[in-house]
């Protein structure tokens, strides 16, 4: 039950973030620590990532359903955010920690921890559906 609830909560977080990126990209760009340091706002790129968040959230939530393919949906939903987390970890390893504590917390909790949590929940869901 914990795994399924976690998948729904994480899926809703992803869907919410994706919708925010699509509906109010300027607000999202200004609100997330470190995003503006990557360069000027790029609406197309933000929309691309917003769509990835929507797809990821949908997969995570489908992974919580009581159906045969639930584990596969959970893994599919967690894949993007897990890879995104690895990209940020790679950046930290090669470029060092962010200069700002708010950026470090945003990336550490909002990207890396969320990606790791999604991967763990998907793994457990996949394993229990076998």
Residue 39: exposed, middle, or buried by beta-carbon count in 10 A (0-12, 13-18, 19+)? Answer: exposed
User: Whole-angstrom Cα distance, residue 45 to residue 25?
Assistant: 10
pLDDT greater than 80 at residue 130: no
pLDDT tens readout for residues 37-73: 889 999 999 999 999 999 999 999 999 999 999 999 9
- Look at 85 and 128; give whichever has higher pLDDT: 85
- Cβ(27)–Cβ(20) below 8 Å: yes
Instruction: Give the domain extent around 123.
Output: 2-128
Tally of structural domains, the chain: 1
Residue 93: exposed, middle, or buried by beta-carbon count in 10 A (0-12, 13-18, 19+)? Answer: exposed
Q: What is the mean pLDDT of residues 9-24?
A: 98
Would you say the pTM of this structure is higher than 0.85? Answer: yes
């Amino acid at each position: 039950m914990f795994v399924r609830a976690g998948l729904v909560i994480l899926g809703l977080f992803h869907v919410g973030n994706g919708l925010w990126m699509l509906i109010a990209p300027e607000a999202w760009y200004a609100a997330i620590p470190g995003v503006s340091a990557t360069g000027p706002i790029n609406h197309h790129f933000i929309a691309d990532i917003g769509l990835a968040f929507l797809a990821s959230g949908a997969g995570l939530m489908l992974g919580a359903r009581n159906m045969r393919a639930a584990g596969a949906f959970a893994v599919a939903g967690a894949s993007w955010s897990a890879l995104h987390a690895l990209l940020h970890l790679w950046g930290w390893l090669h470029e060092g920690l962010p200069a700002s504590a708010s950026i470090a917390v945003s990336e550490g909790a909002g990207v890396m921890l969320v990606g790791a949590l999604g991967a763990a929940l998907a793994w457990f869901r996949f394993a229990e559906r076998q």
